[in-house]
Amino acid sequence: MEPSLPGLTSGEGAAWRGLVSVRFKLFAHLERELQKRSGLSDADFSVLFRLWEAPDGQLRLGELGEQLDWTKSRLSKQISRMASRGLLTREICDTDGRGAFAVLTPAGREMIEAASPPHLQDVRRWFVDALTNEQLESLAAAFATILARLPTSP
């Protein structure tokens, strides 16, 4: 039996421990499979997926950083690594000259379109299919409540 966590009931502690375990184990498993199949890291996939969903395959770097909840430094390093591999380009905004965009390249589009189906099959296998529809709805509602309480990133 797990020792109690100060300030939490046994049920609260079990829920917290469960979330922490799932966060580490599920995401590590999903990232290993993603890397093995596509050569993409979770960070690569996250950037490419957001660009793929964006109009014209591009986002301002500030907006991309907000969506990912990353610091400017982390985003800059990730964008540089991905640009060096030809998955995206970094383009200066024509209208103000200060802002920059991350723009999906054809190679990046091809990579995300090839990587997404097997990755989402793994999401289905290890997450969606493990739960009932009611459990999924409850989780979605709980996650929305938690996210609404969190402060916005600096």
pLDDT above 90 (res 137): yes
> Does residue 37 form part of some domain?
yes
Q: How far apart are the first and last CA of the chain?
A: 39
| Tens digit of each residue's pLDDT (9 = 90 or more) over 66-114 | 999 999 999 999 999 999 999 999 998 777 767 899 999 999 999 999 9
Our count of domains for the chain comes to: 1
- The predicted pLDDT at position 1 comes to 61
**Domain with 28 in it: what CATH number?**
1.10.10.10
Distance (Å, whole) CA 115 – CA 141: 28
State the residue range of the domain holding 31.
11-148
> Does residue 1 form part of some domain?
no
Confidence (pTM): 0.85
Distance (Å, whole) CA 97 – CA 73: 20
pLDDT above 60 (res 154): no
Distance (Å, whole) CA 112 – CA 33: 15
Mean pLDDT over each residue of the chain, to the nearest integer: 93
Percent of the chain with pLDDT over 90: 85
